[in-house]
Amino acid sequence: MSALEVLWCDNHVLAIQKPAGLPSVPDESGDESALDLARAWVKQEYNKPGDVFLGVVHRLDRPVSGVLCFGRTSKGSARLTEALRERRVQKTYLGVVQGELTGEGFLEQSLLKDSSRNRVNVVGEGTEGARLARTRWRVLRSGVQASLLELEPLTGRSHQLRVACATLGAPLLGDLKYGAQMALPDRSVALHSLRFLTPHPSREEQLRIECRPPRTAWWRIATEVKVLSGGGLVELEP
């Protein structure tokens, strides 16, 4: 079993740092998943007999890293899912894209998923089966070879942020599916779930879970960059 980095655990919520390359849940590959590892951790940590319940409330694409949350109880899972559905959860991502990009903005797109190719396309408004995606973006650091973006999905559509970056003419590093020129050495996509801010399922408080980007060469652009975190700024240290 691979090592698991736990970011938060209480009676109702478990949050882990998912490494790039690990599927969020079991898939057709048969590879070990984040859900498998999280269940095994709970079983060992709390000496649980039998099967361990963990509710899947959201997912990260296999090549994406960062904060991944599960519900430890049916109530916790249901309330986290409800908060996501009602858009009371704020998710913040970092992305490293090809080329020089500046500014900030808002994208609204109609996305249609081609399940046979596991690819999402931008289509015309009103296309049957399409879903509306809204994304806020801003450039934190701009360079000739690569730029660092802060991305906030206001909806939860498949591949939403990957498509948004491609639409800006700056595909995420390593994202061959959406226009990147070459793969990264570990086959990841340079997209990282930095922060998950949600109402706690059982307490009258906000739960903020964060984790820093991987320590790989393509994430060095994030070193010493400051991003908003609640009421203040967090510096992304090397």
* Residues with catalytic function: 61
Question: By three-state DSSP, how is residue 203 classified?
Answer: coil
User: Rounded distance, CA 119 to CA 163, Å?
Assistant: 9
User: Rounded distance, CA 6 to CA 12, Å?
Assistant: 14
User: Rounded distance, CA 93 to CA 71, Å?
Assistant: 21
User: Rounded distance, CA 71 to CA 79, Å?
Assistant: 9
* CB 85 within 8 Å of CB 199: no
* CB 61 within 8 Å of CB 52: no
31-53 burial: b if 16+ Cβ within 10 Å, else e: eebbbbbbbebbeeeeeeeeebe
Tokens of 73: 């109880």
